[in-house]
Amino acid sequence: MMAPARVLVVDDSPTMRGLITAVLRSDPEVSVVGQAGDALEAREAIKQLNPDVVTLDIEMPNMNGLDFLERIMRLRPMPVIMVSSLTHRGAEATLAALEIGAFDCVGKPVPGDTRPFVDLAEKVKAAARSMRERSAGRPGTAMSAAPVAPVSAAANYRVGRKIVAIGSSTGGVEALITVLQNFPENCPPTVITQHMPPTFTRSFAERLNRLCRPVVQEATDGARLEVGKIYLAPGGERHLQVTNSAAPCCRLVERDPVNGHRPSVDVLFDSVAELAGRNAVGVILTGMGRDGAAGLLKMRHAGARTLGQNEKTCVVYGMPRVAYELGAVEQQLPLGAIGEEILKITAARKEGSE
């Protein structure tokens, strides 16, 4: 049996430290070994306690969470889970943290939240596993994705008729940036479900739009799928589907969580399988759990091409592993090769289109 994940809780609020500690201690596979109120205390605690994982508040006195995270990643790389307010400012800072190398993020509870930090313990355990696997020299434990070389397939790219659907979770921020930065301005219509707290997805879409050549936007109900546009499922309250074979468009549907998630990758992939069949490409990237695996299998059975991120380049080889073991993944690739393969598959044939 694996030893409990050893966690250091860092937050300037004693109330928040107490809440996080109580939530984590309710899981027998997690051990809170210490608390710290600011970065200076946290630095000493890390030296003395050698935790497997740190939960880190974004906004703290003496040194903010981002600056402290940069020092951790530079001097003593380890899994860090950011704890952030569900505000635009908090979302922007958290996205920056994820790009620096934070393992994952959770939102602070809001008034009326009856289950605060509901998935924090699972994320802590996944982070601890990644740390231990990396220490053992096993694959699939990259703290961040390797830089990707320029993609030759983008040169003289002519778009065909396929729709691209991508699903990701833990580690997905950096993975999606890596894939989408290689897309040309006239990329195929692309729909994405990334597990992310409410309000964070708008900031992430804005961030991607600044970094990428196509237009990236948070999906809205009824938005028509167009060449050169990428649609990111909004976090929190609804699932993203694609509908209307005559003029494919986004549909945001109110349903219970699927696989514990809303939006769910499975819900998106199911709808793409039904709408587009062989005129689609499904891609499953790094993430905890199994969301998207069954939907990707449905896409493959419908004739779609399906790609999965390989173990070595995943932050968490969970979702891609389950999809691969189900037979849903036609081709497993390192992260840096996925963008190029998508473009090869979706490019129009010389005679006109697919």
Show the tokens assigned to 263. Answer: 């939006």
C-alpha 345/C-alpha 354 separation (Å) is: 10
C-alpha 47/C-alpha 62 separation (Å) is: 18
DSSP letter for each residue of 321-339: HHHHHHT--SEEE-HHHHH
Show the tokens assigned to 99. Answer: 């790009």
In sequence order, the 6+-apart residues with CB closer than 8 A to the CB of 37 are 10, 11, 12, 14, 17, 60
CA dihedral 81, 87, 92, 96 (to 10 degrees): -10
| Residue 57 is a catalytic residue | no
Residue type, 36: A
Selected catalytic residue, list 130, 195, 264, 271: 195
Helix (H) or strand (E) holding 47: helix 39-49
| Residue 261 is a catalytic residue | no
Q: What separation, in Å, do the N-terminal and C-terminal C-alpha atoms of the chain show? A: 52
Burial class (CB in 10 A: 0-12, 13-18, 19+), 112: exposed
Residue type, 248: P
**Cβ(179)–Cβ(285) below 8 Å:** yes
CA 229-234-238 angle, to 5 degrees, is 125
Selected catalytic residue, list 85, 144, 169, 203: 169
Phi, psi torsion values for 347, nearest 5 degrees: -65, 140
Burial class (CB in 10 A: 0-12, 13-18, 19+), 116: middle
C-alpha 121/C-alpha 205 separation (Å) is: 27
| Residue 291 is a catalytic residue | yes
Selected catalytic residue, list 38, 104, 270, 291: 291
CB atoms within 10 A of CB 102: 29
Residue type, 86: L
Helix (H) or strand (E) holding 231: strand 229-232
Q: Which residues are tagged catalytic? A: 169, 195, 291
